[in-house]
Amino acid sequence: MHGFGAAAATMMHSLLSLVALLSALRPVTSAGVKPGQIKNLVTFGDSYTDVVSVGDGGVAWPMYAAGYAHVSLFPFARSGATCSNNITFRPFPSVFESQLPLYFAEKNNGTLKLDPQETIYTLWIGTNDVGANSLITGQPKASIVDVANCMVNWVRVLYESGARNFIFQNMIPLQHVPMYSPNAYPDRFWFAQRNTTEWSIFMEELVLSGNALTKLLLNALVPKLKGAHVAILDSHSLFQDMIDRPSLYLNGTAPFNVTGAVNACVFEVNNPNNPVCTVVPPGPERDSYLWFDELHPSEQADRIVARQVADVIGGQRNNWTVWLS
């Protein structure tokens, strides 16, 4: 009986330790920003977030989010970006080599004056890091682990500069965008020969792995960031729900379409000349589409994203966001 009691005590101790660990990872009820607290939105990322070279063919989601939440917008996201050109090189303004240096330059020279308690920072990156000419096509000495570490390092670097409120937007299920679907065709972003089924499967693994890694890394980092409020906006689950239940999100005048695109161009393999393009004219019909082109969400999809971000900015809760602190 004594041996059984000792074993039971050991098991109970292990269970309590596990519960304590899980509790530490679980969001606390007091986490997040307060209603009315946030006055400024600062955005980083790629063409999914760029307000100048807009990927959705209309108005970018940060413009909508700032309007919905009644805050001032300070956009630093740039089309074509990766997290770091030292990891996945592309000749575009990356987060760490271009966007953050620009932000710090404006902050240091007094152009940008933001109260940390009234400002929230967002990052939506990864589509180019895992995509064509990057991880999916092979990147020497780089992996999804490196990309995930870079993404989470964005929070740490900004925190050390004084930032305190963050929204981390994870990668969408890119295997469903026309470019990476099993039924993909030669498009404006990649018209070379490829095994579309293989790309789609590999893309799904890259996205799922990257999202899982960033979640674990953020959970490990957050306890070290005293006074910070960090949220994960689950863009992956949000877009999957749009795919599964389009009637809840799309409201155009045409039948709901989650596989095609508003602006679709089919190329001949290895030939950039004379593509065959089908473009839905501007108007309410476009709001029936989830994708604008072979890579980017539609403007209607971006309005949905904007509403989620605006909810978070306003201190409200929604189904797609979890505050870690």
Nearest-CA neighbor of 153 among 107, 93, 94?
94
3-state SS string over the chain? CHHHHHHHHHHHHHHHHHHHHHHHHCCCCCCCCCCCCCCEEEEEECCCCCCCCCCCCCCCHHHHHHHHHCCEEEECCCCCCCCCCCCCCCCCCCHHHHHHHHHHHHHHCCCCCCCHHHEEEEEECCCCCCCCCCHHHCCCCCCHHHHHHHHHHHHHHHHHCCCCEEEEECCCCHHHCHHHCCCCCCECCECCCCCHHHHHHHHHHHHHHHHHHHHHHHHHHHHHCCCCEEEEECHHHHHHHHHHCHHHCCCCCCCCECCCCCEEEEEECCEEEEEEEEECCCCHHHHHECECCCCCECHHHHHHHHHHHHHHHCCCCCCCEEECC
Which pLDDT score, from 0 to 100, does residue 30 have? 56
**Using 50, 70 and 90 to split pLDDT, how confident is the model at 221?**
very high
Written as one letter, the residue type at 78 is R
User: For residue 24, is pLDDT > 50?
Assistant: no
Nearest-CA neighbor of 82 among 153, 172, 158, 147?
147
Average pLDDT over residues 178-194: 97
User: For residue 211, is pLDDT > 60?
Assistant: yes
- Tokens standing for 178? 């026309």
Place of tokens 């870690």: 324
299-313 and 235-244 helices cross at what angle (nearest 10)? 130
Query: How buried is residue 93: exposed, middle or buried, by Cβ count under 10 Å (0-12/13-18/19+)?
Result: buried
Place of tokens 């700032």: 66
- Tokens standing for 50? 């760029």
CB atoms within 10 A of CB 273: 6
Q: What is the distance of C-alpha 143 from the center of its chain? A: 18
In order of their start, the domains of the chain are: 38-323 (3.40.50.1110)
8 Å CB contact between 252 and 300: yes
Which pLDDT score, from 0 to 100, does residue 317 have? 85
Question: Is the alpha carbon torsion for 309, 50, 292, 189 positive or negative?
Answer: negative
User: For residue 277, is pLDDT > 70?
Assistant: yes
Please state, rounded to an integer, the average pLDDT across all residues of the chain: 92
The percent of residues above 90 in pLDDT, for the chain, comes to: 89
- Tokens standing for 112? 């940008």
Q: What distance in Å separates the CA atoms of residue 223 and residue 28, rounded to the nearest whole number? A: 12
User: For residue 314, is pLDDT > 50?
Assistant: yes
Average pLDDT over residues 176-193: 97
Which pLDDT score, from 0 to 100, does residue 127 have? 98
Total residue count of the chain as it appears in this document? 325
User: For residue 313, is pLDDT > 70?
Assistant: yes
Q: What distance in Å separates the CA atoms of residue 284 and residue 122, rounded to the nearest whole number? A: 29
pTM of the full structure: 0.90
Q: What is the pLDDT of residues 47-82, one digit of tens each?
A: 999 999 999 999 999 999 999 999 999 999 999 999
Q: What is the pLDDT of residues 106-157, one digit of tens each?
A: 999 999 999 999 999 999 999 999 999 999 999 888 999 999 999 999 999 9
